[in-house]
């Protein structure tokens, strides 16, 4: 299976799990279920679930059911996009090439749909098959911490909002991005590791891989916002500069930012050496994160 086929298979497996967990559009109250599905099934790349499933595979040959844990990450990611796009936050009309959730369903429904996806993510982990209750509780704790205010995603969003217009500063930049995208990326690897019963050395290696891949992901995201068009990205390009966000290009310039992404790529590769050939796909995914064009 080449990389393209592999990614398509991972997306399909994720989508099938999401399909099972999301209430049907015909289930009442229908409006919110339509809103939740509209945003979840909007053609996301499913990079977090794929990283989660691949982390489990690096640890164990028997991780059947890991797609449930994996889909919880996509539910969190999607909720954060819906709330981030709201008028009170980034006020964005376009996401994955389509009108944002609140443009289609209204602000009230977008707020509640985000809340519902966030809630569902924890329900999925608490009820996931193929893992014992200790694994379930550990996954809930890890995902909640990674999504929270102290070093987690919400904390990063707050720093990002409050950093707008401030003097670009390397320390602030790193703290924003470690939290805003890095924590959830790392959690993707960790959930897979927990699900598959990783030993502490394996857990630590996958965590470090997640940190470096996560930082690379954010640097590249910042670069794409400068270097690509809205059409290519499927979301509004150039908005970081317009909103005076603290980004890698703003702090370090384009050339240095590209070089930093390369450094994180190398560190990500090095972190998972202990897995040998079992981590072949993770190596490919690290490359994909740096080399992607959207």
190 contributes a contact to a copy of itself by CB under 8 A? no
Q: For residue 61, how far is the Cα from the chain centroid?
A: 24
Among residues 140 and 261, whose Cβ is nearest to a copy of itself?
Answer: 140
8 Å CB contact between 205 and 66? no
Given candidates 104, 144, 280, 288, which one binds a copy of itself under the rule CB under 8 A?
A: 144
x/- letters, 99..138, toward a copy of itself (CB under 8 A): -------xxxx-xx-xxx-xxx-xx-xxx----xxx-xxx
- For residues 107 and 232, which CB has a smaller minimum distance to a copy of itself in the complex? 107
Interatomic CA distance for residues 49 and 72, integer angstroms = 8
The CA distance from 58 to 53, in Å, is 9
Residue 161 as a binder of a copy of itself (CB under 8 A): the answer is yes
166 binds a copy of itself (CB under 8 A): no
Q: Least separation, in Å, of the C-beta of 45 and a copy of itself?
A: 23
- Binds a copy of itself by CB under 8 A, chosen from 89, 254, 266, 270: 89
254 binds a copy of itself (CB under 8 A): no
Choices 23-31, 199-207, 252-260, 271-279; region in contact with a copy of itself by CB under 8 A: 23-31
Residues 6+ apart with CB under 8 A from 129: 65, 68
CA dist 238 and 220 (Å) reads 14
Distance (Å) of CA 42 to CA 53, 95, 106, 174: 21, 9, 17, 30
Alpha helices in 128-253 (DSSP H): 133-147, 153-163, 170-177, 183-195, 200-227, 230-233, 239-242, 248-252
The DSSP output letter for 182 is I
What does DSSP assign to residue 26?
Answer: T
Q: By CB under 8 A, tell whether 230 contacts a copy of itself.
A: no
Q: Figure out which of the listed residues 19, 93, 162, 273 binds a copy of itself, where binding follows CB under 8 A.
A: 162
Binding flag, residue 31, a copy of itself (CB under 8 A): yes
Residue with tokens 């390009």: 237
Which residues in this chain contact a copy of itself in the complex, by CB under 8 A?
23, 27-29, 31-33, 36, 79, 83, 86, 88-89, 106-109, 111-112, 114-116, 118-120, 122-123, 125-127, 132-134, 136-138, 140-141, 144-145, 147-150, 152, 154-155, 157-159, 161-162
């Amino acid at each position: 299976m080449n990389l393209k086929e592999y990614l398509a298979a991972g997306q399909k497996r994720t989508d099938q799990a999401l399909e099972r967990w999301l209430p049907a559009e015909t289930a009442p109250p229908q409006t919110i279920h339509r809103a939740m599905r509209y945003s979840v099934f909007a053609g996301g790349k499913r990079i977090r679930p794929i990283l989660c499933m691949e982390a489990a595979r690096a640890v164990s040959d028997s991780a059947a059911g890991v797609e449930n844990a994996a889909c919880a990450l996509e539910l969190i990611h999607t909720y954060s996009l819906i709330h981030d796009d709201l008028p009170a936050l980034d006020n964005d009309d376009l996401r994955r090439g389509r009108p944002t959730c609140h443009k289609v369903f209204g602000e009230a429904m977008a707020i509640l749909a985000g809340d519902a996806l966030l809630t569902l993510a924890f329900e999925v982990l608490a009820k996931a098959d193929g893992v014992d209750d200790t694994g379930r509780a550990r996954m809930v704790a890890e995902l909640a911490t990674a999504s929270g205010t102290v070093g987690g995603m919400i904390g990063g969003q707050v720093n990002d909002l409050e950093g707008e217009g401030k003097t670009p500063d390397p320390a602030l930049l790193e703290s924003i991005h470690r939290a805003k995208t890095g924590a959830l990326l790392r959690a993707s690897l960790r959930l897979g590791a927990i699900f598959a019963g990783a030993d502490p050395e394996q857990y630590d290696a996958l965590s470090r891989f997640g940190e470096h891949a996560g930082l690379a992901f954010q640097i590249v995201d910042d670069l794409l916002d400068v270097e690509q068009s809205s059409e290519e990205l499927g979301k509004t390009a150039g908005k970081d500069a317009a909103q005076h966000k603290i980004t890698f290009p703003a702090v370090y310039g384009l050339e240095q930012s590209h070089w930093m992404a390369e450094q994180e790529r190398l560190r990500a590769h090095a972190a998972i050496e202990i897995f040998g050939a079992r981590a072949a796909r993770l190596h490919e995914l690290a490359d994909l994160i740096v080399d992607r064009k959207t």
